[in-house]
Amino acid sequence: MVYILVGIAGFLFAFAFDWASLRNIPIIKQIFGILAVGLIAYATVMVCRTSDKLERPTFLLPLGAFFLGIFLCLLIYSLFIEIPFRTTYARKGVGDQLVMEGTYALTRHPGVIWLFFVYVSLILMFPSGTLILAAVIWMLMDVAHVAVQDKFFFPGMFPQYHLYQQQTPFLVPNRQSISACLNTIRPRIKPTN
């Protein structure tokens, strides 16, 4: 149960990271960002390692590992590669570029989707009541975090965010957003003449 609280603290530091970004407090921003990611990752690993495991069919371990690899890569890609890392996480203030293409054309907060499937994958690999409870609580924290970002933080950070809210779904992709994601994430191959 302690590790669930550690994960909750990580999400609270994610809120604090956004606050420090808006207030232009660079050192505090980086500290809060590192604490957020570090505490969430640590709590997740520890819940997987220390909880009493439920019985599971053997094939679920490699299946979960396969999907974990995919969704962990997507999470890292969306949060740390697709958006400009330095201006978003390292410099003072807020990022100066609103990304509306790639996975950010799928939903305004694709990291929530990928984190959800990371936890589903981990539950397949390390099934336990504690991990299921932790995943539910942490996902609720993540949804609350992005809801606050969407309502209070991002409209103040990005002048064009209201247009982005009208064009792109919040968390659940639709046919149009899936198409927009696929059209902007694929490398464009120019025909040779």
Question: What would the pLDDT profile of 53-69 be if each residue is shown by its tens digit?
Answer: 888 899 999 999 999 99
**DSSP characters over 133-187:** HHHHHHHHHHHHHHHHIIIIIHHHH-TTHHHHHHHS-SSS--HHHHHHHHHHHSP
102: tokens are: 């790639």
Decide which of 164 and 193 is more confident: 164
> Does pLDDT of 70 surpass 90?
yes
Decide which of 66 and 97 is more confident: 66
23-34 pLDDT, tens digit per residue, is 888 899 999 999
> Does pLDDT of 138 surpass 60?
yes
37-46 pLDDT, tens digit per residue, is 999 999 999 9
Q: Are 121 and 90 in contact (CB under 8 A)?
A: no
Single pTM value for the model: 0.89
Q: How far apart are CA 28 and CA 50, in angstroms?
A: 32
pLDDT at 84: 75
